[in-house]
Amino acid sequence: MKITWLGHAGFRIEIEDQVLLIDPWLTGNPLFPEDSRDTAIKGATAILLTHGHGDHIGDTLPIAKKLNIPVLGIYDLMSFWEEKEGIQVVGFNKGGTVKQGQVAITMVNAVHSSSMRGPNAPVYCGAEAGFMIAGEGHTIYLTGDTDVMSDMKIFNDLHKPDIGILCAGGHFTMDMRRASYAAKTFFNFTTVIPCHYRTFPILEQSAELMKEELQGVDVIEPQVMVPIAL
């Protein structure tokens, strides 16, 4: 398995027979080098979208159309895009599990908001979500944008994820302290990768606090376009 950070909340996950792009905001992402675009999306088989904010939708539509691959996400937005944009979609909802090749993907709850800009006001995009991604003997918990929530205990009881990709930048999501609390209170991760940080000055810039808080866990500060092999 290889997990590659695309900056902010975006990832490329190579697992089983799949290459999954998560929230692929590439154009305009301050951390993403534009000349790496072709490498980042090469061979992608599907896109997973956690919610409708622009820093997550990003390049989803142009990539889906260029590569002719499905977008997996909340039913409301997926059904809208299927009709209006003519792309392949897999629309499902929280608690639902779908198979993408040999990979099982379960949508789980998140606590955030989900909208995109409209001509006069924000447009509702369905609910925000996270994902459990299972394959190669591992389960990845991708939080999406969220705060700590007691639901996380249920997620661990049902899925037992060993890898956590946790939003941890603060202001819009959990910060490092809250994400660390969630990790050690509800989960038994062996590996944690923070995200949704460093992008802007308003967000946290370091995961040192998380490393201090999660003794015995391999906390990996990702570098953009540098694969993490697990």
Q: What is the CATH number of the domain that holds 206?
A: 3.60.15.10
Residue 73 lies in a domain: yes
Residue 26 and residue 37: Cα distance in Å, rounded?
7
Residue 164 lies in a domain: yes
At 192 the pLDDT is 98
Residue 119 lies in a domain: yes
Residue 123 and residue 214: Cα distance in Å, rounded?
38
Residue 228 lies in a domain: no
At 122 the pLDDT is 87
Residue 178 lies in a domain: yes
Residue 227 lies in a domain: no
- The side-by-side arrangement of strands in the sheet containing 138-142 is 97-100, 103-109, 129-135, 138-142, 163-167, 191-195, 218-219
At 94 the pLDDT is 98
Question: Taken in order 90, 92, 94, 96, is the CA torsion positive or negative?
Answer: negative
At 142 the pLDDT is 98
pTM above 0.95, yes or no: yes
Low-confidence residues in the chain, pLDDT < 70:
none
Identify the residue whose tokens are 């599990």: 97
Residue 167 lies in a domain: yes
- Tell me how many domains the chain contains: 1
Tokens describing residue 177:
């302290």
Domain with 15, as residue range(s), is 2-222
Name the DSSP class of 75. H
Residue 60 lies in a domain: yes
